[in-house]
Amino acid sequence: MEVPFEGARENQRSSGFVAALVLLTLIGGGAGAGLAKYVADYTEEEVHGRLRQQQSFTETLPFSPSTRLQTLEPLVTNLASPQDAWIRLQASILLEDDPDGDVGVLKKKVEDDFLGYMRTLTLSHLEGGIGLQHLREDLTERAQTRTKGQVNEVILESVVIQ
């Protein structure tokens, strides 16, 4: 008589196991679907937020997004005072989208002008942060004059004085 009772108990265990398995599967599926919806909504909001941020960034630029960066050759020359002081300048220029003429010729004109200007500088002109700021502003003004406004800005990459 004990045999049918054990069979019923075994039947109850397997049905309880199946019910628990079904319940866990439903919970896992629901959690996965909820997480997928959350990630999809978050990703969509993040993409739209980044697009808005990028659009606002390009609207605040002082120049057009199609402006091109041109790296100049390193310029090395001596300073006007003291005679044994040398300066090495590495710079880039921001050009308008369609510069008139050849870009290589334009860069060489700017480099020659910069070289001539740096030969007139003294060490006291370049001291401190304000000296570098004045150097950048002077070079930008000279480049704009030389290229008739085709250069937007001069970017100083490195200045070494020895």
pLDDT tens by residue, the chain, 162 residues: 455 555 556 667 778 888 889 999 999 999 988 888 877 776 666 777 777 776 666 566 667 777 889 999 999 999 999 989 999 999 999 987 777 778 889 999 999 999 999 999 999 999 999 999 999 999 999 999 998 888 889 999 999 999
Cα–Cα distance for residue pair 139/93, rounded to 1 Å:
10
The residue to which tokens 């989208």 are assigned: 97
Let me know how long the chain is: 162
